Copies of this chain bind each other. A is one copy, B any other.
Amino acid sequence: MTKSKLSVEQCATELKAVIARENRRVTSYDVAQVAGVSQSAVSRCFKPGASVSKATYALVMRAAALLDYIPNAAARSLITRRSNMVALIITNQANLYYPELLAELSQQINARGKRVLLFTLQREADVDCVLADVWQYQVDGVIAAARLSAEHIAEFERRRMPLVLFNRMLRDHSVNTVTCDHDEAGRLLVSRLAAAGHRQFGIIAGDADLSVAYERRRGACERIAELGLPPPVIAPGQYDYRSGALGLKAIIAQLGSVPDAIICGNDLMAIGCLDCARLELDIEVPGQLSVAGFDAVEPSSWIGYNLTTLRQPLPKMAASAADLLCARIAQHDTEIEKRVFSAQFIEGATARLTPAGASITAPARSATGLPLPVAIM
């Protein structure tokens, strides 16, 4: 017994030397040779659920350990036609504004036994170069938190590449999507503010190119109209801190006075607006002016801000996206699904609010049919 083990070790050591000399990789053949079995036996040992005897398995594993053997994923994917890689296409913007998103998606994908091939886009236009790489690298599927054109979507279908869009809706296209109902979020925010007596709204909108920004704004505007309130003053913005101050000043200038409430396309702008109001213009918030944002980024919870905002359930959305994609990878003919999540209202302290549920002129609509989120606190 001891003698046999020794010889196995010796054999392994010698073989390793040969491999090093020939400057090649350790292969399943090498393991087979040391273990005294066939190459296919080695292959089976690394395939969960294959039929291998205990004895062979032990022999092979011992040899593999001695040789530092690890199966080559490239070779495997060549024959199985599965790379177990998923491409993640994400804009720099998305990554900056939602730093936890990438981690969540990556974690969820890894948890499902797949690896993440990351593509970050500096500009949305870079998507073409990125897609070429996606096709080359034989990923099993793609999650895109970036804007894709109808042509891009068509190419995914043509190549039968599973795709899930994250927070990007593409109307009239049959693509799996996971989104937060930003439209509903905008409506909800207006409803709550209107219920507390706010009448004149200002809106600092995000980049109109972004569907997220567009939907939030549209939801808010529609609800304002439904409630018969005066039309809001809308200032453009670019989702950054600076836009908040600029937007606030623009709104005041156009209106000739301070509005009752300002809705910002995201928290960064809301915080910029807040700082400008309090520190520069000496406007009391929420005394004279209510300010609200979207996203519940970390600084929004700092005691200096305690912002009224809405939070996307990113962890659930990420899990959902991974689920959807993996289901489609496992079975290419699964039905197209569009999963919509509701944002969670965070009362904060930058807006005058009446308790949730207070009746207002018109009932809030839930675009998804899901129950409206309950305000916390």
Contacts and interface: CB of A to CB of B under 8 A. Distances in A.
Interface in A80-99: 81, 83, 85, 88, 92, 95-96, 99
A304 B304 contact: yes
A229 interface: no
Specify the main secondary structure of chain A where it touches its partner.
helix
Interface in A232-283: 241, 271-272, 275-276, 278-280
Contacts of A299: 299
**Range class of the A interface residue count:** 35 or more
B68 A136 contact: no
Interface stretch (A51-59, A115-123, A360-368): A115-123
B71 A74 contact: no
Given A74-B74, A241-B302, A120 B102 contact: yes
A96 B92 contact: no
A107 B119 CA distance: 8
Contacts of A376: none
A158 interface: yes
Contact of A78 (B70, B74, B159, B271): B74
A106 B90 CA distance: 11
Given A72-B138, A78-B78, A118-B118, 13 more contacts: A25-B81, A70-B132, A70-B135, A70-B136, A74-B138, A85-B137, A95-B102, A96-B103, A110-B120, A117-B117, A241-B298, A275-B303, A299-B299
27 contacts: A25-B81, A70-B132, A70-B135, A72-B138, A73-B137, A74-B138, A75-B78, A85-B117, A96-B99, A99-B99, A102-B120, A106-B119, A106-B120, A110-B119, A110-B120, A115-B119, A115-B133, A116-B117, A116-B118, A117-B117, A118-B118, A241-B302, A271-B302, A272-B302, A275-B302, A279-B303, A280-B303
A280 to B, nearest CB: 7
Contacts of A78: 72, 74-75, 78
Interface in A124-163: 132-133, 135-138, 158-159
